[in-house]
Amino acid sequence: MDILKPRGTRDFLPEELNRRKYVENTLRKVFETYGYSEIKTPIFEELSLFTMKSGEGIKEQIYHFQDKGGRDLALRPELTAPVARVYLNELQKTSKPLKMYYSGSCFRYERPQAGRYRQFWQFGCELIGGKPPEAEAEIITMAAHCLEELGLNDYEFHIGNLGIIRGILNDARIIGEEQEQIMSTIDKGDVSGLKTLMKSLNIPEAVRSVLISLIGIKGHKEVINEVESIVGSCKEAFKALENLEELLKVLDAFEFFNYIVNLGIARGLDYYSGMVFEIYVHGLGAQKQISGGGTYNLIEAFGGEEVESTGFAFGFDRLMKALEKQNIEFPSLSRTDVFVAPLSSDMREKAFKIAQNLRRNHISADVDLARRKLKKTLSYADNLGSKYVILVGKRDFKQGMITLKDMKSGNQEPVDINDIDKKLAGLISTKR
Ligand code: AMP
């Protein structure tokens, strides 16, 4: 019987994992430069954490179960709600703004396809207790900074504000379930579906045409004037538009200009309340959204005191795909710098000692564990990507010497056994 991995999951072999580690470390460095600290939360949570705000309907999309004690639990489908829970449980009294980042796997019961998995990774952050325009602007700038640091080209950074469309809908008394249905259809980018839905909900023609015009608006700063003329006298929408305008001003100060204002962004989850953004990379097909986030009021919804919060997450798997598609190369993390090969069986124990000495001096070293003949050992070391091989021969060893072979050039030189760690440390640091 073949035992296969579960549908929608993947195995990561060392080479791919090395690339993922490099990208993860790069993101970590950028987040930390902006003052974020990492937190970890459990893989599973109380089911109610996710149904409380998103409704019972979310159960269709998540893995949930009862444990042996009869508790209703769920594998986390995202990390914003868990971080909000941590804040409520432990951090309400901490001085703000609070900047936290996370990297972890999430689970959704979705139809697997390219770029859509049942287990996937999110790398993201939450900024709790900052003032919207500056907190939002800094988060947006940091997301773009990450992509710049990774060398990703050709992406589109779309920024919107949910309050504009919600304002129009609230003004027309289209609220509750009807409003959520509309937002979710906008989120799918399904304009003809939206038209049909609005007709079936008997939404007045004037409101319908305002909505269709608004979601079609895309462009740089100058589109703000256009939006202004469309939202007209709707106070709530106008306030949201002002917030968006303020954000764009602060973005200038952060020197981030590479964005598109897009009022058609609705975001799938209904806890977003104001600014929203998404990043798209062409060439990834339907799953082109590599990141999404915005300003939300989840903490209040969980019973905490009102606190302004903004966050976003990279869909880490899609980010990796985008980097791969653009043939972006990363420094290769070769597994070992040096391989220690005894030339005869009585030199084996000496080889172990040499390897241990190198490892204690922070030089990654592998040693022959397969009792191979020299030719095979050299080809094995070559396959591993070892830069150097230390040949331990009986005659040399008696005189306190070993032979150092440079695998790239093929050159060999005798080296005093007491100097080998210093010699290699120097060679390896210059090669890096
Ligand atoms: P969301 O919480 O839905 O906004 O997701 C944040 C990011 O995670 C999205 O921008 C996607 O890049 C990524 N993502 C969401 N669902 C999946 C999935 N099933 N497989 C892979 N990536 C996903």
pLDDT in tens, 218-250: 999 999 999 999 987 899 999 999 999 999 999
The average pLDDT across 51-78 equals 94
Q: CA 293 to CA 125: how far, in whole Å?
A: 9
Q: CA 353 to CA 363: how far, in whole Å?
A: 14
Residue predicted with more confidence, 73 or 385: 73
Q: Sort 180 into a burial class: Cβ within 10 Å, 0-12 / 13-18 / 19+.
A: middle
User: Is 51 within 8 Å of 4 (Cβ atoms)?
Assistant: no
How many C-beta atoms lie closer than 10 Å to residue 330's C-beta? 15
Binning pLDDT at 50, 70 and 90, where does residue 267 land? confident
- Which residue's CA is minimally distant from atom 7 of ligand 1? 315
| Domain pair 14-41+76-325 / 338-431, same fold | no
Q: CA 388 to CA 155: how far, in whole Å?
A: 41
Q: Is the CB of 61 within 6 Å of ligand 1?
A: no
Q: CA 230 to CA 237: how far, in whole Å?
A: 10
Q: E strands, 201-355, where? A: 218-219, 260-262, 272-281, 289-296, 309-315, 338-342
Calculate what percentage of the chain has a pLDDT beyond 90. Answer: 85
Say whether pLDDT at 399 is over 90: yes
CA of 234 to the centre of ligand 1 (A): 33
Mutate to test the pocket of ligand 1, among 108, 121, 122 (most ligand atoms within 8 A of CB): 122
Whether this model's pTM surpasses 0.85: yes
Q: CA 276 to CA 292: how far, in whole Å?
A: 8
Binning pLDDT at 50, 70 and 90, where does residue 432 land? low
DSSP letter (8 states) at residue 92: T
Q: Is the CB of 187 within 6 Å of ligand 1?
A: no
Binning pLDDT at 50, 70 and 90, where does residue 326 land? very high
List the beta bridge partners of residue 158: 260, 278
How many C-beta atoms lie closer than 10 Å to residue 321's C-beta? 20
Q: CA 300 to CA 174: how far, in whole Å?
A: 23
Mutate to test the pocket of ligand 1, among 80, 317, 320 (most ligand atoms within 8 A of CB): 317
**Closest alpha carbon to 428 in 352, 351, 334:** 334
CA of 107 to the centre of ligand 1 (A): 10
- Which residue's CA is minimally distant from atom 14 of ligand 1? 315
Contacts of 243 (CB under 8 A, 6+ apart): 132, 133, 161, 163, 274, 275
- Which residue's CA is minimally distant from atom 12 of ligand 1? 315
Q: Is the CB of 108 within 6 Å of ligand 1?
A: yes
Task: Specify the CATH superfamily of domain 14-41+76-325.
Answer: Bira Bifunctional Protein; Domain 2 (3.30.930.10)
Say whether pLDDT at 394 is over 80: yes
Q: Is the CB of 288 within 6 Å of ligand 1?
A: no
Q: Is the peptide bond before 204 cis (omega within 30 degrees of 0)?
A: no
CATH fold of 338-431: Rossmann fold (3.40.50)
Residue predicted with more confidence, 331 or 90: 90
Q: Determine phi and psi for 56, rounding to 5 degrees.
A: -65, -25
Q: Is the CB of 117 within 6 Å of ligand 1?
A: yes
Boundaries of every domain in the chain? 14-41+76-325, 338-431
Q: Is the CB of 317 within 6 Å of ligand 1?
A: yes
Q: Is the CB of 387 within 6 Å of ligand 1?
A: no
List the beta bridge partners of residue 44: 75
Q: Is the CB of 78 within 6 Å of ligand 1?
A: yes
Q: CA 203 to CA 200: how far, in whole Å?
A: 8
DSSP letter (8 states) at residue 124: E
Q: E strands, 79-185, where? A: 98-107, 119-128, 155-161
Lookup result for tokens 């972006």: 328
